[in-house]
Amino acid sequence: MSARDRPLRVAVLGAGTVGREVVRGLLEPQGDLVDRAPGIELVGVAARDLGKAMASGIAESLLTDGPAHLVASPESDMIVELMGGDEPAHTLIAAALSAGKAVVTANKHVIAHYGPELEAIARRTGAALRFEAAVGGGIPVLGPLATDLAANRFTHVRGIVNGTTNFMLSAMHERNQGYAGALADAQAAGYAEADPTADVEGIDAANKLAILARLAFGAWLDPDSIERVGITGISAEDIGGAAGAGRVLKLVAQAQAQAQVDGGAAEIGAVVAPTAVPATGSLGRVGGGNNRIELEGEPIGRVAFEGPGAGGRATSSAVLADVLALARGAGSTWGVLKPAGGLVRPGAMDLATPTRYPSGARYPEVD
């Protein structure tokens, strides 16, 4: 039997919130209208806690505590990385691509920080790298950017890309909760981790903005150099001050292609910060854990993507879609876009800033 005739053999690294849902989707496909030929076969699942993984319904025969073994095994064709974090995820993804194996990942940290390296490996070996789930949870935005919208020249991307902080800020506005109460509720609802630093300090949003910029502007931004302000300093007085002005505070990530200087390449400005937006506007109406991503370009004008931006089920939808795309012969998430070089240090953005809020804070405004 040739490789083309046999099922696509998939190994999943990680059996946590997203991993469990992906395994379930591979074993019990939900889409009655989807033709899964030439077939997909789950050949292994790497889990840190084997007992917990078995308790969640994953068969013991599929489980291992050695993710590197699944990457190196000749019995796997595709690696689905859902471990999260930096290492060993980065090394495992790089090893799989170097071996010519396709990779699907939801790991925004690894894609944002090692994107140039991983893209170079994938292009060299011909292995596909897909990462739709790294931005927007279940919202399909990266694929359309690189395919259906590839004829456009984008100038601006902005949006709410972190479900945890949006859940918290929505609670603070709608239920008059303080920061601590909103964080506790977000943790109880499964949106926030025990250590919420990456979310509340804007680190997660900066990673996602860097990935969006690669697809919208063709460059990998250095996520650690993106100007970033978190939500930890937002007070009840700030929430009330915004409401009195007909606005709400949202953690908004935005990047813009700035004017060219001396005939050189356009600089990309980027920022992640709590921003005062009209309460009845497109961003102000996005509540709970939802995300909304807006892009402006020529000739399309403004286009937007909105939907569930967090949670295992929503994220698994994007992961499974990438697996199905690869089973049908699709390539990497960047599609037909030109290769990008190394990490680029973004510039600052000049945003309108209102007068001081009652607490003394100042927040940029966008309409």
Assess contact for 312 and 20: CB atoms under 8 A.
Answer: yes
Nearest to 196 by CA among 28, 79, 310: 310
DSSP labels, 38-85: T-EEEEEEE-S-HHHHHHTT--GGGEES-HHHHHH-TT-SEEEE---S
Amino acid at 180: A
Nearest to 80 by CA among 326, 346, 276: 326
Assess contact for 308 and 290: CB atoms under 8 A.
Answer: yes
HSE value, Cβ hemisphere, 13 Å, CA-based, for 214: 32
Amino acid at 49: D
The two most distant CA atoms of the chain are separated, in Å, by: 72
Residue 89 has φ and ψ, to the nearest 5°, of -55, -45
- Catalytic site includes residue 338: no
Q: Which of 52, 101, 108, 208 is catalytic?
A: 208
Instruction: For the beta carbon of residue 244, count every other beta carbon within 10 angstroms.
Output: 10
Residues linked to residue 292 through DSSP beta bridges, in sequence order:
160, 306
Catalytic center residues: 208
